[in-house]
């Protein structure tokens, strides 16, 4: 009974990176693991750690209940309200793109095994001052989680 969460997370990343507005050509980097500070860029979607406990779900299979901790992170130069608004607006637009893409296909292109229904939940907004490329900047972070149940045998 091999776990499926790692493979599903990889598939979700591949699904999202192909969505218009979330592609590298759109200036977005999607990573499938937490990154080091030096790996930050100005527009990120990070699919972080997975918790995936398993439980018996019938005679021949188990249910894997996966939850992935994720973040949308946008950094914009400046220290004024314009920088704060620009970072926050871009973060809002990105979480909307992620949410809409997963609502359109709850399996993320077949990445999540049956019953294959990804749910997205946001948990707030963090706005912080940072130094970015040797200048003042503002960072907007939207933490969110992805969860699903897969039946494995």
Asked if 15 contacts 101 with a C-beta cutoff of 8 angstroms, the reply is yes
What is the reported pTM?
A: 0.90
Write the pLDDT tens digit of every residue in 99-132.
999 999 999 999 987 787 999 999 899 999 999 9
Round to whole Å and give the CA distance between 126 and 124.
7
Q: At what angle do helices 5-16 and 81-104 cross, to 10 degrees?
A: 120
Write the pLDDT tens digit of every residue in 25-58.
999 999 999 899 889 999 999 999 988 767 776 6
Round to whole Å and give the CA distance between 104 and 67.
19
End-to-end CA, the chain: 5
Picking from 20, 12, 26, the residue whose alpha carbon sits closest to that of residue 120 is: 12
Number of H helices and E strands in the chain, helices first, is 2, 7
């Amino acid at each position: 009974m091999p776990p499926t969460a790692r493979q599903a997370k990889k598939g979700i990343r591949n699904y999202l990176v192909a969505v218009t507005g979330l592609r590298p050509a759109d200036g977005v980097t999607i990573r499938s693991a937490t990154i080091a500070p030096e790996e930050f860029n100005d527009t990120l979607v990070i699919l972080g750690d997975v918790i995936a406990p398993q439980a018996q779900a019938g005679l021949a299979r188990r249910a894997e209940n996966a939850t992935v901790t994720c973040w949308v992170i946008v950094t914009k130069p400046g220290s004024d309200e314009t920088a704060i608004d620009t970072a926050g607006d871009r973060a809002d637009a990105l979480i909307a793109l992620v949410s809409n893409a997963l609502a359109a296909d709850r399996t993320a292109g077949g990445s999540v095994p049956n019953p294959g229904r990804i749910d997205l939940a946001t948990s707030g907004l963090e706005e912080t001052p940072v130094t970015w490329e040797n200048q003042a900047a503002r960072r907007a972070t939207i933490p969110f989680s992805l969860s699903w149940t897969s039946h494995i045998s």
